[in-house]
Amino acid sequence: METRNQAATPPPRKERRRNQPLRQHFDAAQMLLRPLLGDPENHNGTAFYRAMNKLQASFPEMSGNEIEALVAAVVRSVQTRAGNR
């Protein structure tokens, strides 16, 4: 017989993300890129190029695809927060 506390505990979620190291670098990347990408109106090729260069210099062990994914994640985060103002 289950008690009330056991029934209320949700089952553990299966991790669906494949690249865990990117999650570990997200907060640092967000702090680095916020000055470049903080204003969604300034999202253009030049800002993205500078963001990628800044991350490549900060995390030289990452591949180009990982850098792109991290920039995209930061951009999504900035856009989401800008929409909630």
- Confidence (pLDDT) at 71: 92
Three-class SS state of 12: coil
- Confidence (pLDDT) at 24: 86
The answer to whether residue 1 is domain-embedded is no
Amino acid (one-letter) located at 20: Q
The answer to whether residue 29 is domain-embedded is yes
**pLDDT top residue among 82 and 81:** 81
pLDDT, tens only, 20-73: 778 888 999 999 998 888 777 777 888 899 999 999 999 999 999 999 999 999
**How many structural domains are present in the chain?**
1
Q: Are 70 and 31 in contact (CB under 8 A)?
A: no
The answer to whether residue 68 is domain-embedded is yes
- Confidence (pLDDT) at 70: 92
- Confidence (pLDDT) at 83: 60
Domain enclosing residue 70, as ranges:
19-83
